Amino acid sequence: MRKSVGPRRKRRAKPIDSATLGAQIEEARVRVRPLLPDMDEQSLITILASVLQPFGTGKHFLLKRRADGGFVF
């Protein structure tokens, strides 16, 4: 058990640089797009950008598919 010596600091992940993240988003978009033909292109990019961010950057959201086929963020 850890001895309490003060408040715990939250660990934050380093964000990915924008060029690397952009390349990862584009690669994932090309692979996922045929599987979700009815999804809005910008929504897909937003979702992929969120999923590919490292945990701890505070840029994540939950996604759930609704019964009517739409998505809830």
pLDDT of 25-67, one tens digit each?
999 999 999 998 898 999 899 888 888 877 666 555 656 777 8
pLDDT at 29: 94
Question: Has residue 6 been placed in a domain?
Answer: no
Q: What is the pTM of this model?
A: 0.57
Instruction: Check if the beta carbon of residue 69 is closer than 8 Å to that of residue 38.
Output: yes
The C-alpha torsion from 22 through 23 and 29 to 31, rounded to 10°, is -170
Question: Has residue 10 been placed in a domain?
Answer: no
pLDDT at 34: 93
> What distance in Å separates the CA atoms of residue 33 and residue 45, rounded to the nearest whole number?
10
Q: Which helix (H) or strand (E) holds 33?
A: none
Q: How many domains does the chain have?
A: 1
Instruction: Show the domain range for 58.
Output: 18-72
Question: Has residue 4 been placed in a domain?
Answer: no
Question: Has residue 8 been placed in a domain?
Answer: no
